[in-house]
Structures are given as structure tokens and as C-alpha cells.
Amino acid sequence: MLRRGGLAVVACLALLAPVAPAIAATPATTPATSPSSFPSSAAPARPAVALTLRPCPTDLTGWRCSTLTVPRDWFGTSDLTARIPLAVMPARGERIGALTFNPGGPGGSGIEAASRWYAALPERMKDSFDFVAWDPRGVGGSTPKLTGCRTKSTRAYYDRPATGPVDWLAFTRDVASSTGPELQRCWEANPDVAPYLGTDYVVEDLEAMRVALGYDQWSFLGMSYGSRIGYRYARAYPASLRALVMDGAWDPNATLATWAAADSWAFTYAQSVFSSLFDDRLAARFARVLKALNARTVVIDGRTRTRWDLTPALLGDISSQSAYDDIRAMIDTTYDALFRTTSPAQERRAGLAFTRLARDAEKTDPYTLNMVMCADMSGRPTLEETARYAESAYVNSSVLASLVTVIKGTTCEGLPDAIERPYPPIEEEIALVTPPVVLNALGDTRTPWLGARTMASYFTGSSFITYNGTQHVIYRKLRSACLNVPVTTYFMTLTVPASTTCTYAPLRQP
Amino acid sequence: MTARFLAGVLAAALALGVPASVSAAPRETAAPVPVERGSITWGTCTDDSMTSGGWECGTLTVPLDWDDLANPADAEISFGILRSTAPDRLGAFTFNPGGPGGAGLGLSEYVRAVLPDEISTRFDIVAWDPRGVGESTPHLRGCAPQPDFPPLPDTGPVDWEATVREYVDSVEPLRRECFETNADIAPYLGTYYVIRDLEALRIALGEERWTYWGMSYGTRIGLRYAREYPTRFRAFLLDGSVAPNETMLTRSGQTAYKYGHVNATFTAAMGEGMTAKYGRVVRALNERTVTIDGTTYTRWQIFPRVYGSLGNQARYPAVRKVIDDVYAALFGTGASARRLDRNLALLEEVDPDSQGYFIDFVNCADVHTWPTVDEVVDVVSTAARVSSMTGAMDALGRSTHCFGLTPGFAPRWTQLTRPLALPTPPIVIQSYGDPATAWIGGRQMSEYFTGAAFLSYTGTAHVSYMRTPSACINDRATRYLLTQSVPRSATCAYEPTPPPEP
């Protein structure tokens, strides 16, 4: 799919002097300079690279693969490189353009998600777009990658009281004293890697990839954290975007503090929206269960369960509709076990649900997430502030909400301040030739609705589609014409849909 | 202009459901004639708006303490009724405009006028002042004015911990003194008694059931009336609803995130450019003051008024002009102090001293789990960090109602643990960006009524029915009030209020 025009652009860009501010060569000791803006005229030096696409190994049948080599340090002078693996599925018919995506995380591999993602797309999209999957630096098959970092443990913090008040400050300090040294060791063990992870670099990689593949523009689908890549790419290279969809969108002005504090209410919203989707008694039962679990433990399927393992099962996966049946079974069984009686069959069913939900909740991201989050955002909360947010989350929701708060609030413990290379808050609206589409569920705990609303508002003429559910990342995940058709049409024809709210779409139609 | 005054503007504007004049002078009564409890003494209407148009006014005498009828003290509930002469009369319509402290009588003509004709003519409209409010007795007396908020810095960070502690220290003794001075009446002002008064009024008027429009705090009255007298609502509209199981802590904790939703919603509703512009104004005013024509303005003069106005769409044009002017002064040219003052004045009309202790006594009787000072510090600091300075100020006001009071002074309230089933399920109307009662509370309220409809509005209106031009809300609610047919839940898109006819 390489075209000659693309290479000309490479040469042209390579002639531009790198004006972007350099970040410190030894970031551990020198404060980084935040690039205040990334106008495309100040693009970093871009090496001319030609890519040869070859058939991909094994499971990516029909895709063609290559690896893009780029400077590891786009804003400095290091000679080190980064390698970005990518896979292309050519358009089957008359090509409209190139569509790429990021599945989120930070830490999600595009290559790994490629087949599943492609399969979910409508046929007319497959006819019309080259699909490009890639692994952001630090993820999957890319380099640089963190090495020598111990597997994170999120289990053994604090002597958690089964019931009654929790000392969230002690809890937070305990988490910080456990993860801080691990993160610090990881940072120190990776001096040539850790400072070069972050969305500012990913945006440059993505632009280099576009040029190297010879595409005039990207059509971009950013899911979850991927919306941050899309947003920053739009700020840096507005002319390089043909279309932009942010599905499960970040708050463009999020700080580490607001990110952590959001869980004091995001779970309340999720619980409420979730409850409203089912019968009238569910809301009361759900609320009563959460409240009771702070006062007592409960025996289910022969095992004593506490709030520390039940609330992650009840709320941890609430932004995934595929977990709804299990969550409802857990609510009903826990309610009956607390206040009535349960049948053996019901208990067995709940035991299985619990196992599935606990497995999902145990997924942890590697340290890449910490490095990217801490590079991208400023405003670290103090441990006292984090404990305060955790207390609010406890009052408003549950120990699960507090736990998530504490993990977020301590994300950057042990990392030097110099890792921060955040954008300054967005000041002016971004005017793209074709405004973007933002989708978000009202009760999304991963990317709360409020942040997505704000993201949409910062793009002139954008479309904002609200889903009256809790599903995180929505496009082509649900059978809802209200959600799917406008986005597909937008990609195909650049028709920006009217903002709207779409009703709940069950996974299985009743 | 003191910070306390501004905070008062904010608190009062957010507390009240409807921004019409709500203060009515206590009635001068003639020498008391012994009247039987539960009986009505008919008289003439004293509220200016009700002297014509066919209103009949009276006073219902009820026991001050519904649980101790041996206590000889009475309360007098003043009401007015505009009777329907329609052959197809549907019953009695009543409302409460919020607060606590909002007077029904002062709003009677307003309510009659905004209701569609087919409602106002087919119902008897009944307006009443809750005990302690307007023309109804008993009234609190002999209380010192509530203290000022401690002075807040014009720019830069605020030491919220010191501010909270100083404010609590100053308000605590005064509130205790006010309570003690009124020890014979202060424990009897809570909603527990108000719903019994409302039931007595229904019986005295010979009405079978109420069709009820609860606005803001009026939804708390409605909820508790529905729990106590579930068969006595023919139809029940909760408009700008409180949360069903609110505690003082969750109530104030909500403000920590509520303002993010207010910001996102109103700037989106006001159209392109406003989100970025407003964000810049907020950031800039936290760093510097702005001087226009020699007059210096701080964040405390701008934001409390802006937020205090967002619940009423009719003020959007003035809000926009204020923001435009401040923006011009900060980043450009062309600002005029005279114009800014004029527009700011449009955003300010509520008397900040209106019944501060009354609000405290009602809220603290109604809502339990009072926060400690440390918890208030937590809530307020969190609001300041993750929301806005205005959010912090709002949280401070909302979380400190009960300092100086002793728990247990009023009948205990229990949380709902199962949904209420009414013969006709209610409708809850709530805006995403409601600056007074957070959207989540209304959503939760709808979940605690079997078969309820929830109408979300993507604006910032606090109390929306007939106060926004949204046919999506108004038509559904009107049809429901007339026919008792519960609509499907829906999200209704923001509709701008058309400018008034020149």
C-alpha cells in the first residue's frame, strides 16, 4: 500500500528542524520540560523509512506485517531506536483510506486485538479501508520494553478489617510503601526505556507510521486510553486526521488527582445506571447488599466471603455487559444469603459467577501503564489526598471503589517528578476539518461520562453519543443501530451525526 | 461584599426550587380564638398575588407535636385554594417549591400561570406554606444573624481546613443559642411533621387524594408523604429530586463531583466555544483578579452567581454575557464594568439571610449521619481539588447545617430498603447538570419507586417542568398529571429558552 507521495512527505518533513523542546537526557535527575504545544510545523525530525510489508506469522492470516523503526527519543538527541510492529489488512474493494485504532490500556496490544477487532467491523468498512494494527511502544512486540520489573502484587496490603471502618490513610500508605519501591526499582532498572514511554512519543510514532505507510491521513478509532492518543494526535497533527472516533473517552484535562478522585462517584453512577436496567427491586437490593457487607460477612457456597472479595465481584466488572448475568446472580445470592435463605443450586451458580468475576478483576497491567500515566498527567495527589478520595469512595460506594482509588492515587509512587511530560490544560477548542464523534456510557466506571462529555466539548462541532448503560467501549460491541450506524456512516462518509442518547441494548435481545 | 454574602446567594439560590420571591411577612393575627385542631378558619387572602382571581384563603390548625397531642401548642398552616369549576374536575393539585423555606402561597399565582390550562382549570389548586414558613406558624424568633464565612483569598489556594474549622467554630454557638431560644418549636419543624400537616389539610378540605408537584426539597416532602400515606397520591411528580437515602455526608459528598457535571453540561448547552472559554476563565480567576474600568472583580464575585443561576434557563443569556465580559477583560478588550455589573445583578436576587436556621433545623431533623469536622474538611477539600472553588463553598454550606445541634432532637428516619409501590407510579425529572440536586440522586429516587418513569434532561435546569421549553418533558408530565398514564423513561435533549418577546 505504499505510495510514492508518502515518501515525498517523509523527505519533506525530515528537512524541518526539530524545534520541539527536548526532554532531559537523564530524566531521573533533571526536570523535564513540558512541550507546551505540538504544532505540526514543529514536528520532530522524521527519518525517511520505507516499509516492506510481508505476510504475518501464524494467527494473522491475510494480514501483512512489518516493523517501523523510529527514534526512541523524538525530542532529544539519543541515537537509540524504538521498533513498532504493525499489521495491515488491505481494503477488499475501492479504498477510502486507512483506519487504525488503539485498544486502550495503556498497555493494550493492537496486534493482539487485530483479528477480533477486524471481525467485528461491518462488511462495507472492510471493503473500504486498509486496516492497520500496531503495538504502541512498551507494549506487545514493540521496543523499548520494560524488563526486570517484578510482577506487581495488589493483594497483600494492609490488615483489612472484614467489617467496620477502614483507616484509608494507613491503607494508602501501606499500598504506597509496597508499590513505591517496586516502581522505583523498575524505573532505575530501565534507564533507556522508562523515560521514553508516554503518549507524546506514541503520537510521534503514529505520525511516522502514517508517513512510512504512505497514507495521507488516518481514520482513527481510539478506545478508552486510545482516545487519549487520538486527542493528542489531533492536537499535534490535526491535518493528518481524516476522521476521529473516541469510544470510552478520557477527560482531556484529567490530572492524576482527578483521575483517582473520579472513583468516589463513578461507581455510584454505574451502580445506579446498572440497577435501572433491571427489575424494580434490584436497586434497593444492590444498595442494601453493599451497605450490609460493611457490617458483616456472609457464607456463600460454603465459604465465608467479605466485602474485600465480594465488592470486586459485584462492581469490578460492571462496565462490561458480558458480566451482567454473573453480577445479577451475585447480587441476588448475596442478598438472599444476608437476609433470607439460599438454595444449593443458587449457591453453586453464585460460586461459579464469583470465580469468573474474580478472575476478571485480577487482571493487572504491567508497569507500562504506570509509566505512561505518570508521563502523561500532572497533579499527583499526596497520600493524604488519596486517602481522602478513598474515604469519599467508601461513603459513596464501597471498599472496591476505595481500592481502585488508592491504586490510581499511588500510580506514580516511587517515580521521579521528571517523568511528567503532561500537556498543559487545553485552552482553545480544537477545530478539525471533520469534527470527531465521542461515545460514552452514562455509567462507565473506566472512562466516566463526565470526562467524555468534556472531551467532546473541546472539539468544535463534535458529536456526542451517550449510551444509557454502563458498557465501556461501545462501538460494534452491542446490537444497537443507534450506536453503531452513525459511527460506521461517519467513517464511510464523514457525516457527523447529531448528538443523541441511545437506549440500553441487552446482549441478548429478549 | 463579603464572601459569606456570596456564599449565601449561592446556597439560597441552590436550595430553593423556584426563583420567584419567596419571602412573605409573617401574618399579623388578631387575638387568638380557640379553634379546634383539624378545622379550617376561613379568612381573606393576604398575599398580594392572591387577592384577586378567585383564591380563597384559610388557616388550618394542627397540633405542633403530632406524637404528643397532650402538648397544647398548635401550628397554623396557611393555605389558599382556587377551585375548579370544570364539569370534568380531576381533583386537588398541590405543590411545594423547595427550600426548605420556600413559601407556597407566594408562588401560587406563578404555579397557576405556568401550568397548562387543562390542568389549572380541571384541578383545585391548593397552595400552602409549610409550618415555620411565610404565613404559617410557628416561626423561629430571636436568633442572631448567621455568621460570615471567614474571608477567602482573592486568588490562589484556599486553606479549606482552617476555613472549615473557623466557620464551624463561629456558627456552632449561635445555632445552639437559636435552637435553645426556640426549644419549644425548633424540634417540630422537620418534614416528619410537614407531611402530617399536609395530610390534615387534605382531610380538612375533603379531598380524596393529591396530585402533587414536588420541586427540589419538595420532593423530600413527597417521598415521605408517599411512604406514610401511599394511597393518597393520585399522581406524583418529583422535579429536581433529592436522593431517597441521602445522609448529610453523602448529600455534601455529592457536591465534590456535582460541579463537574454542571460545568460540562452548561458549557455544552451554551454552545461551541463555551467549554474552552469557561475553562480559561476559571483557571485565570484562580490566579489573578480582573480589573474593569477601575473596578476589581475576584472569583468570589463571579462564580457563586453563575452557579446560583444555572438552575434557571431564563438566566442563561445573562450568564453568557457575564462570562463573555470577564473573558474579554482577562484576555482581550471591550469589557465594560457597567455592563458586567448589570449582568451580574441579573444573577442575584435571593436574600441570603432567608431563614438560615430554619433550613438547618429541617435538614438536620430530616437527614441523619451528620459529618464530623474532619469529614467536612475532607469533603470540602476534595470538592476544591477535583471540582471547583464554588463546589467547595457549596459543600461547606451543605455539610455544616448541624453543628451546634444535638442528634436525636427529632423523630428518627429510616432508609428505604425496598422500592415503594404506589397505585400510580411517579415521574422523576432530573437534569444531568442540575446544580442543586445532583442527577444521580434523582436517578436513585426513580429506582426506589416500582414502575416509576425517569426523565433525564441534558441541561442544567433545577426543576424543569414548564420551566424549560422541552416538549419531551412538558408533554409527558402534563399527560401524566391529567391521565395518570406513566410515560416510558426517556432522555430529553436540552432546548434553549426562547428570548422574551420584545
| 3 state DSSP class of A368 | helix
- Taking only residues 277 to 316 of chain B, the set having a beta carbon closer than 8 angstroms to any beta carbon of chain A reads 279-280, 283
Kindly state whether residues A268 and A383 are assigned to the same domain.
yes
Q: Which amino acid is at B159?
A: D
Query: Is the residue at A275 inside a domain?
Result: yes
Kindly state whether residues A65 and A203 are assigned to the same domain.
yes
Cell numbers at residue A354, please? Answer: 464469583
Kindly state whether residues A207 and A277 are assigned to the same domain.
no
Of A280, A381, A450, the CB nearest to B419: A280
Sole residue written with cell 507494549: A139
Query: Is the residue at A434 inside a domain?
Result: no
The pLDDT of residue B34: 56
Kindly state whether residues A328 and A390 are assigned to the same domain.
yes
Kindly state whether residues A113 and A153 are assigned to the same domain.
no
Of B249, B268, B443, the CB nearest to A453: B268
Kindly state whether residues A291 and A349 are assigned to the same domain.
yes
Measured N-to-C along each axis, helices B373-386 and A383-396 cross at an angle, to the nearest 10 degrees, of 100
Kindly state whether residues A182 and A85 are assigned to the same domain.
no
Q: HSE (CB half, 13 Å, CA atoms) of B477?
A: 31
Chain A closest-CA separation from residue B266 CA (Å) = 11
Closest Cα in chain A to B253: A392
State pLDDT tens for residues A216-268.
Answer: 999 999 999 999 999 999 999 999 999 999 999 999 999 999 999 988 789 99
Provide, as residue numbers in chain A, all residues whose Cβ is less than 8 Å from the Cβ of B458.
501
Chain A closest-CA separation from residue B459 CA (Å) = 13
Instruction: Tell whether B444 lies on the interface with A, counting CB pairs under 8 A.
Output: yes
Of A399, A424, A449, which residue is a domain's last?
Answer: A424
Of B265, B382, B447, the CB nearest to A276: B447
Task: With cut-offs at 50, 70 and 90, classify the pLDDT of residue A46.
Answer: low
CA B35 from chain centre, in angstroms, equals 33
List all residues 6 or more positions away from A428 whose beta carbon is below 8 Å from its beta carbon: B276
Query: Is the residue at A493 inside a domain?
Result: no
List all residues 6 or more positions away from A297 whose beta carbon is below 8 Å from its beta carbon: A162, A163, A304, A305, A306
Kindly state whether residues A293 and A410 are assigned to the same domain.
yes
Kindly state whether residues A291 and A370 are assigned to the same domain.
yes
Provide, as residue numbers in chain A, all residues whose Cβ is less than 8 Å from the Cβ of B446.
276
Chain B closest-CA separation from residue A398 CA (Å) = 13
A346-356 core/surface letters (b: 16 or more CB in 10 A; e: else): bbebbbebbeb
Instruction: Tell whether A458 lies on the interface with B, counting CB pairs under 8 A.
Output: yes
Cell numbers at residue B405, please? Answer: 445541634
Of A288, A388, A428, the CB nearest to B381: A388
For residues A63 and A86, give the distance between their C-alpha atoms in angstroms, rounded to a whole number. 10
Provide, as residue numbers in chain B, all residues whose Cβ is less than 8 Å from the Cβ of A381.
385
Query: Is the residue at A447 inside a domain?
Result: no
- Taking only residues 408 to 437 of chain A, the set having a beta carbon closer than 8 angstroms to any beta carbon of chain B reads 425-429
| Domain residue limits at A203 | 4-146+193-216
The pLDDT of residue B15: 54
Kindly state whether residues A393 and A412 are assigned to the same domain.
yes
- Interface A-B: count of C-beta contacts within 8 A: 118
State pLDDT tens for residues B360-398.
Answer: 999 999 998 899 999 899 889 888 888 788 889 888 988
Query: Is the residue at A36 inside a domain?
Result: yes
Q: Is the preceding omega at residue B138 within 30 degrees of 0, hence cis?
A: yes
List all residues 6 or more positions away from A318 whose beta carbon is below 8 Å from its beta carbon: A267, A270, A271, A274, A327, A443, A445, A470
State pLDDT tens for residues B184-222.
Answer: 999 999 999 999 999 999 999 999 999 999 999 999 999
Kindly state whether residues A109 and A157 are assigned to the same domain.
no
Kindly state whether residues A88 and A162 are assigned to the same domain.
no
Query: Is the residue at A137 inside a domain?
Result: yes
Query: Is the residue at A299 inside a domain?
Result: yes
Query: Is the residue at A306 inside a domain?
Result: yes
Whether B447 and A284 lie within 8 Å, measured CB to CB = yes
Weakest mean pLDDT among A450-464, B13-27, B420-434, B436-450: B13-27
Instruction: Give the end-to-end CA distance of chain A in Å, rounded to a whole number.
Output: 45
Between A114 and A425, the higher pLDDT residue: A114
| 3 state DSSP class of B92 | strand
Whether A293 has a pLDDT exceeding 60, the answer reads: yes
Count of structural domains within chain A: 2
Of A397, A424, A451, which residue is a domain's last?
Answer: A424
Of B253, B267, B418, the CB nearest to A284: B418
Task: With cut-offs at 50, 70 and 90, classify the pLDDT of residue A153.
Answer: low
Of A261, A458, A501, the CB nearest to B275: A458
- Closest to B104 in 3D by CA, of B224, B213, B259: B213
Please name the helix (run of DSSP H) or strand (run of DSSP E) that holds residue B42, with its range, or none.
Answer: strand B40-43
